[in-house]
A and B are shown apart, each in its own frame.
Chain A
């Protein structure tokens, strides 16, 4: 289902227009107060601003404002399931009955709703927890049940509001894999702070700042070559987007990055991404002895002092070095250097 959203909320200083193609996942990025939640609320129908038009799969859900017919479809009638950072499982129902709630509420019988629910629990990998109460689930398990519950409602559009923000980092990679699998071919809007989520889950990224769209495009491009300040800060990670060839991520410039694969190993020739912290990158004036696996000959494009470090930009890559190191290396734009990062510091993901 295609989503079209146009909204103007002067009281919140938000003016946003965006489209999501059928089966596409759109990531909505932006700092707090940038209008992400407003946009999500307007689509879900929990917020009705001064002027808005929401069309999902040709069906007008909201059309308010001067000259508009004043259409406001009730939240329960929109087929837009919401999943927030807290799982918000109904505490008085078992995991199974939580997931069966959607089908049950839209007219399915008890037995068939439970069968549907069990199928979705199996799908997200928590089928054996069906009889547990929400209080007996870990954060990651609860969020998986919440994903199953949202999907079981068979929504035309899935709205994810920072679905992994409240979870332990240890459970993130596995849940991200699951989301990748179930979100494929599903029209989804996901609000996130995590560039990795945007990169791995979304096809396209829209960056909001101060209630306006400041940047949008294919996620890999926006995040590896950010133009807006927020996307740049967000992409504080080094990010190499490319294809998986012979055990390394190879980007368009032919640079091969080795690392450890997180989650499923990408297929040979399939899209993949390598990420590492700028702090894990060492800067040398000349080629290093011992030929480390990840050594990149680059030209320094910018030297940027941060709070207590110096960030060295070299095209899409950056390295954080101490002030002394920068002085000893006499770094300046235009200089040729070698960036070295240990393969153990690099995380590789399938896209």
Chain B
């Protein structure tokens, strides 16, 4: 490789890392403890972890079958379906939030049906989880579908020839073989859920303790209490670094 690639590469790395340094530099360390343990901060942090965990679970429950269908079946329109399913990956989250609102909101597509069942989705914690699942699902599906395609069907053919039913093959052979892909997909989905902002504020609003997750809290505090916003931002950075580290060691070990 030519030696000059180091220069743009270093510029790129600086571009990514310098803002993180700026955040650390801007932190008011004297009040850091009290800033991140204020009632609203704690509420936002706990809500973020809870909703992200729930949406990661939802991504696994829905995304594993989706990835299996996309990786293991052939039918007309499969390519189009794959593109549509992956749409949230490129869609502005605000647009996703609007779409969710017009589907599950009170006057949305399924609003009257949900109303009849006594379910109010919009502006609830459930809406936060739904918004996060909407944007995070493609991350898990893409990661797992790739792992499934790489693993191939050879072991599955052998397992079936030994008398294992399709469900047994999926449970005892296919999923254990793609566990690293599933794990990294779940980590990516969790990280994406944790940082979700646009779809959440559009579909779920910003009610403290119910729908105001950490990114929303940071955005709100930025106006009134910049020090608190910076302190919380640092918390989010630390969580993100931990997630990446977890994903890396997980991949290395498997």
Partner of A105, one of B157, B164, B177: B164
Contact A105–B161 (Cβ < 8 Å): no
A88-B154, A88-B155, A105-B168 known; A81 vs B162 contact (CB < 8 Å)? yes
Interface positions of B from 149 to 195, Cβ below 8 Å from A: 154-155, 157-166, 168-169, 172-173, 176-177, 179
Contact B158–A82 (Cβ < 8 Å): yes
Given the complex, which residues of B lie within 8 Å of A44, measured CB to CB? 157, 161
Q: Give chain A nearest CB distance to B158 CB in angstroms.
A: 5
Partner of B162, one of A74, A86, A105: A105
Contact A75–B177 (Cβ < 8 Å): no
A82-97 CB mask vs B (1 if < 8 Å, else 0) is 1010101011100000
Contact B161–A75 (Cβ < 8 Å): yes
Contact B160–A101 (Cβ < 8 Å): no
Contact A90–B159 (Cβ < 8 Å): yes
Given the complex, which residues of A lie within 8 Å of B159, measured CB to CB? 90, 101, 105
Q: How far is the CA of A92 from the CA of B166 in the complex (A)?
A: 18
Contact B177–A150 (Cβ < 8 Å): no
Contact A82–B157 (Cβ < 8 Å): yes
In the complex, whether A257 has a CB less than 8 A from a CB of chain B is no
Given the complex, which residues of A lie within 8 Å of B165, measured CB to CB? 76, 105
Most buried by A among B154, B155, B160: B160
Q: Give chain A nearest CB distance to B29 CB in angstroms.
A: 47
Given the complex, which residues of A lie within 8 Å of B172, measured CB to CB? 101, 105
Contact A46–B157 (Cβ < 8 Å): yes
Contact B154–A75 (Cβ < 8 Å): no
Q: How far is the CA of A155 from the CA of B160 in the complex (A)?
A: 12
Q: Give chain B nearest CB distance to A54 CB in angstroms.
A: 14
Given the complex, which residues of A lie within 8 Å of B166, measured CB to CB? 74, 76
Interface size class of A (residues with CB under 8 A): 20 to 34
Contact B157–A92 (Cβ < 8 Å): no
Contact A105–B163 (Cβ < 8 Å): yes
- Provide the main secondary structure of the chain B interface: helix
Given the complex, which residues of B lie within 8 Å of A92, measured CB to CB? 176-177, 179
Partner of A80, one of B154, B161, B164, B176: B161
In the complex, whether A258 has a CB less than 8 A from a CB of chain B is no
Total number of residue pairs linking A and B with CB closer than 8 Å? 62
Contact A91–B161 (Cβ < 8 Å): no
In the complex, whether A102 has a CB less than 8 A from a CB of chain B is yes
In the complex, whether A149 has a CB less than 8 A from a CB of chain B is yes
In the complex, whether A79 has a CB less than 8 A from a CB of chain B is yes
Q: How far is the CA of A155 from the CA of B163 in the complex (A)?
A: 9
A82-B157, A101-B172 known; A91 vs B177 contact (CB < 8 Å)? yes
Given the complex, which residues of B lie within 8 Å of A101, measured CB to CB? 159, 162, 164, 172
Q: Give chain B nearest CB distance to A212 CB in angstroms.
A: 27
Q: Give chain A nearest CB distance to B198 CB in angstroms.
A: 40
Given the complex, which residues of B lie within 8 Å of A159, measured CB to CB? 161
Partner of A153, one of B155, B163, B169: B163
Q: How far is the CA of A224 from the CA of B21 in the complex (A)?
A: 81
In the complex, whether A335 has a CB less than 8 A from a CB of chain B is no
Contact A75–B173 (Cβ < 8 Å): no
Contact B162–A150 (Cβ < 8 Å): yes
Q: Give chain B nearest CB distance to A235 CB in angstroms.
A: 31
Q: How far is the CA of A102 from the CA of B166 in the complex (A)?
A: 13
Q: Give chain A nearest CB distance to B183 CB in angstroms.
A: 14
Q: Give chain B nearest CB distance to A90 CB in angstroms.
A: 6
Partner of B160, one of A76, A91, A149: A76
In the complex, whether A106 has a CB less than 8 A from a CB of chain B is yes
Contact A75–B158 (Cβ < 8 Å): no
Q: How far is the CA of A90 from the CA of B95 in the complex (A)?
A: 44
Interface positions of B from 121 to 167, Cβ below 8 Å from A: 154-155, 157-166
Contact B164–A81 (Cβ < 8 Å): no
Contact B157–A75 (Cβ < 8 Å): yes
Q: Give chain B nearest CB distance to A152 CB in angstroms.
A: 8
Q: How far is the CA of A76 from the CA of B168 in the complex (A)?
A: 11
Q: How far is the CA of A74 from the CA of B159 in the complex (A)?
A: 13
Most buried by A among B159, B163, B164: B163
Q: Give chain B nearest CB distance to A165 CB in angstroms.
A: 16
Most buried by A among B158, B159, B168, B177: B158
Q: How far is the CA of A46 from the CA of B157 in the complex (A)?
A: 8
Q: How far is the CA of A153 from the CA of B166 in the complex (A)?
A: 16
Q: Which residue of chain B is the closest to A153 with respect to CB atoms?
A: B162
Given contacts A44-B157, A81-B162, A159-B161, 15 further A-B contacts (CB under 8 A): A46-B157, A76-B161, A76-B162, A76-B163, A76-B164, A78-B161, A80-B161, A88-B155, A90-B177, A101-B162, A101-B164, A102-B164, A105-B162, A106-B163, A149-B162
Interface residue ranges, B against A (CB under 8 Å): 154-155, 157-166, 168-169, 172-173, 176-177, 179
List 17 interface pairs A-B (beta carbons < 8 Å), by A numbering. Answer: A44-B157, A46-B157, A75-B161, A76-B169, A81-B162, A88-B154, A88-B158, A90-B155, A90-B159, A90-B177, A91-B177, A92-B177, A101-B159, A105-B164, A105-B172, A106-B163, A159-B161
Interface residue ranges, A against B (CB under 8 Å): 44, 46, 74-82, 84, 86, 88, 90-92, 101-102, 105-106, 149-150, 153, 155, 159
